[in-house]
Amino acid sequence: MRKKVIAGNWKMNMLPNEAIAFIEELAPLVKDTENEVILCVPYIDLFYSLLTVQGTNIKIGAQNMHFEESGAYTGEVSGKMLKSIGVEYVIIGHSERRQYFAETDEIVNKKVKAAISNGLKPIICVGETLEQREEGKTSEVITKQTELALEGLTNKEVENIIIAYEPIWAIGTGKTATSEDANNSIKEIRNKISKIYGQNTAQSVIIQYGGSVKSSNAKELFEMSDIDGGLVGGASLKAEEFSKIVKYK
Ligand code: PGA
């Protein structure tokens, strides 16, 4: 049985004092959950967040990283740096990074490999645009993105990653994919992994849904056969609302 993994993606929100207050409010609300709880916070909040989650079941992730370990890359942060302070997860290839920061599938693959080699768990985002969906290309786009992101990984490595299927038209728009649609897309991603890595590996990969997840739709989505939790943006900015998503049942 795969575990449900619920990750918040704060994006470019929350000052350190707000991060601390949020975690202090969230921790008692989610302490008894059997689901995995992750907060992916801005770099500036990482250290404060890591200190504040000590002794709780909340894990901390970053939202991006560079694929090189160190060097002349002004403004960048490496996987090695993230790992050194105790970060466990990192979002890679979020559609906002692909769209606004020109991240290609090749860069995503390099980052995934660098994350793994530094002992971080990547949360790899894939998803189609509205245009691609309307042209009937959803399956082609998301399976290709998955294949390219995972290129060169071993079975064992693939078994330890997380994929987030996030249809771009559903992010921050209030529009959610229907639970059937989301489940079908996630099945397609799993089938693709199965074709390359075999059924056992495909069945063990955590694949989340993301895009306007909130407490009112979390249960319906997360109870689908292939949806293993969610990557939550807007609704992860309020501790009480996020705790309801974590405890969706
Ligand atoms: P949203 O964002 O929940 O605000 O739609 C999800 C994401 O971008 O990860």
Q: How many CB atoms lie within 10 A of CB 112?
A: 25
Q: Is 127 exposed, middle or buried (0-12, 13-18, 19+ CB in 10 A)?
A: buried
Tell me if 217 CB under 6 Å of ligand 1.
Answer: no
Q: Give the per-residue pLDDT at 123.
A: 99
- Closest atom of ligand 1 to CA, residue 91: 9
How much is the average pLDDT of 223-243? 98
Radius of gyration of the chain (CA): 17
Angle at 43 between CA 40 and CA 45, to 5 degrees: 75
Tell me if 45 CB under 6 Å of ligand 1.
Answer: no
How much is the average pLDDT of 170-188? 93
For the cut 90, the answer to whether the pLDDT of residue 1 exceeds it is: no
Three-class HEC string of 112-134:
HHHHHHCCCEEEEEECCCHHHHH
How much is the average pLDDT of 183-201? 98
Alpha carbon dihedral 131, 178, 100, 58, in 10-degree steps, equals -170
Tell me if 122 CB under 6 Å of ligand 1.
Answer: no
Tell me if 212 CB under 6 Å of ligand 1.
Answer: yes
Q: Take atom 1 of ligand 1 and give the residue whose Cα is closest.
A: 233
Q: Give the per-residue pLDDT at 175.
A: 86
Q: Give the per-residue pLDDT at 208.
A: 98
How confident is residue 90, by pLDDT bands cut at 50, 70 and 90?
very high
Query: In the 8-state DSSP scheme, what is residue 174?
Result: S
How much is the average pLDDT of 212-221? 97
Q: Could you give all domains of the chain from N- to C-terminal order, each with its CATH number?
A: 5-246 (3.20.20.70)
Q: Give the per-residue pLDDT at 177.
A: 86
* d(CA 231, ligand 1 centre) in Å: 7
Q: Take atom 2 of ligand 1 and give the residue whose Cα is closest.
A: 233
pTM for this model (two decimals): 0.97
For the cut 90, the answer to whether the pLDDT of residue 104 exceeds it is: yes
For the cut 90, the answer to whether the pLDDT of residue 176 exceeds it is: no
How confident is residue 56, by pLDDT bands cut at 50, 70 and 90?
very high
Q: Which residues contact 239 (CB under 8 A, 6 or more apart)?
A: 22, 25, 26, 29
Kind and range of the H or E run holding 91: strand 89-92
For the cut 90, the answer to whether the pLDDT of residue 187 exceeds it is: yes
pLDDT, one tens digit per residue, over 39-52 is 999 999 999 999 99
Q: Give the per-residue pLDDT at 174.
A: 87
